[in-house]
Chain A
Amino acid sequence: MVGVAVTTGSHTRIRASRGTRIESWAWLYMRLSGVALLFLVLGHLFVIRILAGMNQVDLGFVTVRWSGLGWRSYDLAMLLIAMIHGANGVRGLAYDHLPRRLRPWTLGAAYTICLAATGLGAYVIVAFSRPL
Chain B
Amino acid sequence: MIALHRLQRDTLWRQIAWVVQRASGIGVLAFLVLHVGDTSLVVLYPPAYNTVVALYKHPAFDALEIALIGPLIFHAFNGLRIVIQDFWPGWIKVQERMLRATYGATILLWAAFAYFMVVKG
> CB within 8 Å of A: which residues of B?
22, 25-26, 28-29, 32-33, 36-37, 39-40, 42-44, 46, 49-50, 53, 56-57, 69, 72-73, 76-77, 79-80, 82-83, 86-87, 109, 112-113, 116-117, 119-121
Given contacts A34-B79, A38-B79, A120-B37, 20 further A-B contacts (CB under 8 A): A31-B87, A37-B76, A38-B77, A42-B73, A42-B76, A42-B109, A45-B69, A49-B120, A50-B112, A53-B116, A55-B57, A57-B53, A59-B42, A83-B32, A93-B22, A120-B40, A121-B39, A124-B39, A124-B43, A124-B44
Q: A121 to B39, alpha carbons, bound, how many Å?
A: 8
Q: Is the interface of A mostly helix, strand, loop or mixed?
A: helix
Is A62 positioned at the interface, with any CB of B under 8 Å from its CB? yes
Check B113 against A120 for contact (C-beta < 8 Å).
no
Closest CB of chain B to A63's CB: distance in Å? Answer: 8
Q: Is the interface of B mostly helix, strand, loop or mixed?
A: helix
Chain A, residue nearest B76 (CB): A38
Closest CB of chain B to A45's CB: distance in Å? Answer: 7
Q: A83 to B28, alpha carbons, bound, how many Å?
A: 10
Closest CB of chain B to A93's CB: distance in Å? Answer: 6
In the complex, what residues of B have CB within 8 A of residue A121's CB?
A: 36, 39-40
In the complex, what residues of B have CB within 8 A of residue A49's CB?
A: 113, 116-117, 120
Q: A71 to B29, alpha carbons, bound, how many Å?
A: 21
In the complex, what residues of A have CB within 8 A of residue B72's CB?
A: 41
Chain A, residue nearest B116 (CB): A50
Closest CB of chain B to A86's CB: distance in Å? Answer: 4
A-B contact pairs, 22 of them (CB 8 A): A31-B83, A34-B80, A34-B83, A42-B73, A49-B117, A50-B116, A53-B119, A58-B53, A59-B46, A62-B42, A79-B36, A83-B32, A86-B32, A87-B29, A117-B37, A120-B36, A120-B40, A121-B39, A121-B40, A124-B40, A124-B43, A124-B44
